[in-house]
Amino acid sequence: MNMNSYDVINEAGAVPIKLWTRGVPLEDEARRQLINIARLPFVHRWIAVMPDVHLGKGATVGSVVPTVGAIVPAAVGVDIGCGMMAARTTLTGDDLPDHLGEIRAAIEKAVPHGRTVGTRDKGAWANPPEATVAGWKTLHDDFSKITARHPKLSRTNNLNHLGTLGTGNHFVEVCLDEENRVWFMLHSGSRGVGNAIGSHFIERAKQDMRRWMINLPDQDLAYLPEGSDYYADYVFAVDWAQRYARMNRQIMMQHVVDAVRKVITKPFDAQAEAVNCHHNYVNREHHFGKDVLVTRKGAVSARKGEMGIIPGSMGAKSFIVRGLGNAESFHSCSHGAGRVMSRTEARKRISVEDHAKATAHVECRKDADVVDESPAAYKSIEAVMEAQRDLVEIVHTLRQVVCVKG
């Protein structure tokens, strides 16, 4: 009998796959995708799988893949540096206005979000504000080094996306914790420029695989060996995109704070506790005797004492957590609840009425364009947290009262 807190998949020609998935579903397609990744020759020791696991493009969402001597750009994906930021304020729920629509409207006005409509990109700055311009100055020189070698990346929407939200599962929320204290929380990444960097190097890796006639079980597992033409370029560019993503969240958070201060005149501090963490990224770390590149696709670093954020879906709980430093998971935990329905399936199965009922306690959009983000499209966050009790401990439990989505 396996007395560990995880289960193990052992397949011929593959490293072990350790899964913290007890009590949560694991799709057959995700299982097959994990086995494909585990057969790559440069994976170090094993793959760790988080309880929010589900099928992804290239690599499985909710996977932790340590590698030596090579990197898989699609395992990071195109939303490089995507992650969370949360900040506790000195406000309480009693300080919020009776009509939370005022706060939602103020945040929507302060933070560009949404899809392109006609010739107008709602999700970008028309005239970047001072914080964006100042932030871009700290990123510009290294971006110029990237574009000097890869000129097409200079045409990305970079400056005008810094401090903006985007679409899909990205959000800004106002939450209350177990003591009725107000938190601001947001989820976003490296936006258009990160997407361009990821897409560019995924294609470069595929070209190398074809040139070297390397057969892979999935072409999205194309990799860049250390010392090859694009390896160093990609590692430098992905690190830059992660810095961009972190700054993107910091700038947005300041704009959220400023927006709420226009609605709530009572003075408040918004940095009583603050956490800013990636969950789609690469990091140089040391595990089991080796210096490795750890790719976390939909996973958060959870070293002992390290703070992290695990959000639920719209209408569900979210958690501020502290890492327990579990070496078997390469010091990692889940990044959220994880989807149980594709976006297409969710739009077919979840009605606007269902969505409105599930989010009745939240001031948020309740229209057809967001039903794919409704709670029913996601796993139970409670089951996900139970499955990773040996990875993190819960510090705060948050419930949304306002949610802004693109």
**Per-domain residue ranges for the chain?**
7-340+378-405
**CA distance linking residue 237 with residue 227, whole number of Å:** 16
Question: Which strand (E) or helix (H) includes residue 62?
Answer: strand 61-67
Residue 224 · residue 256 · CB < 8 Å: no
Structure-block tokens of residue 51: 């309880």
Distance CA 374, CA 101 (A): 19
Mean pLDDT on 162-177 = 94
Distance CA 116, CA 201 (A): 25
Residue 153: count of CB within 10 angstroms of its CB: 19
pTM for the whole structure: 0.95
Q: What is the mean pLDDT of the chain?
A: 94
What is the band of 271 on the pLDDT scale with cuts at 50, 70, 90? confident
Residue pLDDT, tens place only, 212-257: 999 998 999 999 999 998 999 999 999 999 999 999 999 999 999 9
pLDDT digits (tens, 9 = 90+) for 33-86: 999 999 999 999 999 999 999 999 878 999 999 999 999 999 999 999 999 999
* Residues with Cβ within 8 Å of residue 123, at least 6 apart in sequence: 112, 113, 114, 115, 116, 161, 164, 165, 166, 167, 406
Q: Kindly tell me if the per-residue pLDDT of 272 is higher than 80.
A: no
Q: What is the pLDDT of residue 217?
A: 87
Mean pLDDT, residues 297-316 = 95
**How does pLDDT run across 337-349, given as a tens digit for each residue?**
999 998 899 999 9
Tell me what pLDDT residue 82 has. Answer: 96
Q: What is the pLDDT of residue 62?
A: 97
pLDDT at position 3: 62
Residues acting as catalytic residues: 335
Q: What is the three-state SS of 7-58?
A: EEECCCCCCCEEECCCCCCCCHHHHHHHHHHHCCCCECCCEEEEEEEECCCC
Q: What is the pLDDT of residue 114?
A: 79
Q: 123 with 116: CB under 8 angstroms?
A: yes
Confidence (pLDDT) at 273: 84
Answer yes or no: CATH 3.10.20.30 is held by domain 7-340+378-405.
no
Binned at pLDDT 50, 70 and 90, residue 274 comes out as: confident
Strand runs labelled E in 135-233: 171-176, 181-188, 224-225
What mean pLDDT do residues 316-331 have?
Answer: 97
What pLDDT does residue 168 have? 83
